[in-house]
Chain A
């Protein structure tokens, strides 16, 4: 869990060009971190690529904080495990 959080924090920090320490679980992407809609899409695409999952478009609006992003990633990673079982 901690590993996943750190990995996703690292991905986000790289895309939005901020120090990972600024990307706290509760920091709001748009208001606090200056993320725009293109960066949000890039975050989504980076997570899809890293974890080999596919996240539908309507989930994009749910990516508002690191915490939300981890929750969305976990939701689809869980789905993938079930498919493989």
Chain B
């Protein structure tokens, strides 16, 4: 398990764009199960939508992408500045996400090479499936 302090060492994202609260399962390169608690205080709920609060699908994709970064994080990348570029997203949304939902995001590699990868992602909230799909992204080391 990784707590939020460990996650912040891996992910470059910060408030209000850190979409993972905890990592429940962490098998580098094989499988990651991450947790995102959705509260009514999320900034985006004030505009999406004032009358009916629904988590934007793009942010669910962001949570998938952040879980994928954790999936491919290697111990030896600690000292490197790595930029991640999302290349393609093929996602189907199955159920809306409301305040109070706890998202469990599972990502597994479909195909990984040294500088790019395709991952399969499934997001559930309790016993309902929220979204599933595939993300392709590349990683590039940048000089600090």
Indicate if the CB atoms of A49 and B138 lie closer than 8 Å.
no
Interface residues of B, CB < 8 Å — how many?
11
Indicate if the CB atoms of A37 and B116 lie closer than 8 Å.
yes
Indicate if the CB atoms of A38 and B114 lie closer than 8 Å.
no
Interface residues of A, CB < 8 Å — how many?
12
B contacts with A: majority SS = strand
A contacts with B: majority SS = helix
Chain A residue nearest in CB terms to B113: A57
B64-101 CB mask vs A (1 if < 8 Å, else 0) is 00000000000000000000000110000000000000
Chain A residue nearest in CB terms to B136: A38
B111 in the interface, Cβ–Cβ < 8 Å? yes
B48-61 CB mask vs A (1 if < 8 Å, else 0) is 00000000000000
Chain B residue nearest in CB terms to A41: B116
Taking the closest CB of chain A, its distance from the CB of B115, in whole angstroms, is 8
Given A38-B87, A38-B88, A38-B116, A44:B138 Cβ within 8 A: no
Q: A residues touching B (Cβ–Cβ < 8 Å)?
A: 36-39, 41-42, 44-45, 48-49, 57, 60
